[in-house]
Structure formats: structure tokens, C-alpha cells
């Protein structure tokens, strides 16, 4: 009987400590610094050619939406089960080509296209402090998992080179996320935020192209260009949550 009473008492204390939970929805914009550095590999019809080291680093615009569920465990501590989806794009292939061949050589060789668009899906539990005597600023720290859906557009080859097309490739990359920032609790509903986020990818290779097609239907074949690295990023983002 005493054991049962003790268990009920613990359950009541735990339930009473979780005072309330809230759903939130918002959006953010920012800058994403991303790049990759590694050896260029070209596999053409079974023959692999290893090129020089390409260094493709760039800063791009990033925009996305955020949604989640916030639970107040104790008055000073909240946990946000946070989901983010965002879009960005980078010229990895062009930047890497120019780093090996020289500035402007991508266009000079008659190449165009090859932009890599990235849709990021991030799952981040955020551990957040909320001070009862100063509720305006609520700092947080989170570690989670990121999924990057990468899609590289076709690379068109034209004069002065022989005309052809390298078909772009799509890949899914998974990595570790580390995020930190602060929520500004202006009102109970309107809560701007600022966030800094690092994406540390798993994997060893990024493939940009998958097939080759000569202009005018004059032949095709396998011609795969990849770099022995996977792009990570550092993201600075500001936005606003609406809490319901």
C-alpha cells in the first residue's frame, strides 16, 4: 500500500511539473556558408580519371519554415521538438572547376548550369531556458539530425568545346546538426528568434553528374563526375514564431 501511494505521489508531482505545452509555426531567412573540398573523379565508360583538388566554398541565401511543439517541464526549462524545412542553392561545380582551372574558366570553356539546390529537413530537440524574472530572452541549445536532398541541374557544354550535356544527379545526404540561439518572447504569441546552426555531414562523396549526351543525338554514355567530399554548412538565420 505504501509503495503504491509513493508511486501515485511521484506521478502527480511529474504531471504537475509539466505545466503546459504549445504548438508553434514560423519562418526564417538567413545566410548559409557552405563548401566542399576534395579530389575530382571522372568515371567515363568504365575508366576513372582522378583530377586535382577542387575547393568549392560559397555563401548563399537560405529561407525556410519552422514548426514544433514546446513543453514546459519546469518553470525555468522548456524543450522544443523542432522541425525545420529550408531551401538554398550553390554553384559547387562551377566554383570547384574554377578553383582547379582558374577564375572564369567555367564560362570560358563553354560550360553553364550545374547549380546544386538543397532542400534541408532538420529534426532538432531544443533545450531552452526561460527565466521567470526575465522572460524576454530564452536561450537554447540543440543537437539533432539533418537530411539534405541535393539536386544538381544539367551541365550544358557549348562552343568553344564540342556541344553536349552532362545530366545532373540527385542525392540524399544525412548529417549531425548542432544549433544554438535565442527566442525573444515579445508576447505570448509573437516570438522572434535568432539561430546559428552547423551541419556536419556523414558520407565521403558528392556526385554531380550521372550521364553524358552528345548534342543532336550523336551518342551518349556514362560520364560521372564526383568530388571526394560532402558539403557541410554554417547557417545564420533570423525569423519569428507564432505560438498557439
**Least trusted range by pLDDT, from 16-30, 80-94, 156-170, 229-243:** 16-30
Interatomic CA distance for residues 91 and 93, integer angstroms:
6
pLDDT of residue 140: 98
> CA 20 to CA 244: how far, in whole Å?
12
Least Cα distance to 88 among 241, 207, 199, 224 occurs for 199
Helix H segments across the chain? 2-17, 92-101, 105-108
In terms of Cα–Cα distance, which of 4, 97, 109 is closest to 51?
A: 97
Q: What is the pLDDT of residues 47-87, one digit of tens each?
A: 889 989 999 988 999 999 999 999 998 889 999 999 999 99
Q: How many residues does the chain have?
A: 244
Fold classification of 18-38+55-153+170-204+232-243 (topology level): Porin (2.40.160)
Collapsed DSSP state (helix, strand, coil) of residue 189: coil
Distances in whole angstroms, Cα of residue 122 to Cα of each of 16, 36, 95, 198: 31, 20, 26, 11
Mean residue pLDDT across the chain: 91
Instruction: Name the nearest CA neighbour of 55 among 16, 84, 94.
Output: 94
Cα distances (Å, whole numbers) of residue 93 to 46, 74, 170, 209: 22, 49, 14, 10
Query: Is the pLDDT at 17 greater than 50, yes or no?
Result: no
Query: Strand, coil or helix: what is 236?
Result: strand
Average pLDDT over residues 28-41: 96
**Banded pLDDT at 15 (limits 50, 70, 90):** very low
Distances (CA, A) of 120 to 137, 147, 175, 232, 239: 27, 6, 11, 12, 17
pTM beyond 0.85, yes or no: yes
List, in order, residues 6 or more apart from 125 with CB less than 8 Å away: 79, 80, 81, 82, 142, 143, 144
- The helix or strand, by DSSP H or E, that contains position 120, with its residue range, turns out to be strand 116-129
pLDDT at 106 over 90: yes
Amino acid at each position: 500500500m505504501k509503495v503504491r501511494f509513493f508511486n501515485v505521489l511521484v506521478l502527480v508531482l511529474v504531471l504537475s511539473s509539466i505545466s503546459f505545452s504549445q504548438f508553434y509555426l514560423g519562418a526564417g531567412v538567413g545566410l548559409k556558408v557552405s563548401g566542399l573540398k576534395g579530389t575530382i573523379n571522372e568515371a567515363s565508360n568504365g575508366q576513372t580519371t582522378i583530377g586535382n583538388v577542387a575547393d568549392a566554398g560559397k555563401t548563399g541565401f537560405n529561407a525556410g519554415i519552422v514548426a514544433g511543439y514546446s513543453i514546459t517541464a519546469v518553470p525555468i526549462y522548456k524543450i522544443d521538438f523542432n522541425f525545420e524545412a529550408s531551401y538554398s542553392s550553390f554553384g559547387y561545380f562551377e566554383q570547384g572547376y574554377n578553383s582547379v582551372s582558374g577564375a572564369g574558366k567555367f564560362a570560358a570553356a563553354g560550360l553553364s548550369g550545374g547549380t546544386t539546390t538543397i532542400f534541408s529537413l532538420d529534426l532538432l530537440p531544443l533545450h531552452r531556458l526561460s527565466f521567470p524574472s526575465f522572460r524576454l530572452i530564452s536561450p537554447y541549445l540543440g543537437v539533432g539530425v539533418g537530411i539534405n536532398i541535393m539536386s544538381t541541374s544539367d551541365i550544358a557544354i557549348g562552343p568553344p568545346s564540342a556541344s553536349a550535356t552532362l545530366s545532373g544527379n540527385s542525392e540524399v545526404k544525412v548529417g549531425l546538426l548542432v544549433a544554438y540561439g535565442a527566442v525573444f518572447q515579445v508576447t505570448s504569441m509573437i516570438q522572434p528568434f535568432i539561430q546559428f546552426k552547423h551541419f556536419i555531414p556523414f558520407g565521403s562523396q558528392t556526385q554531380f553528374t550521372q550521364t553524358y549526351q552528345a548534342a543532336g543525338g550523336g551518342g551518349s554514355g556514362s560520364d560521372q563526375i564526383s568530388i571526394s567530399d560532402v558539403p557541410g554548412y554554417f547557417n545564420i538565420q533570423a525569423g519569428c514564431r507564432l505560438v498557439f
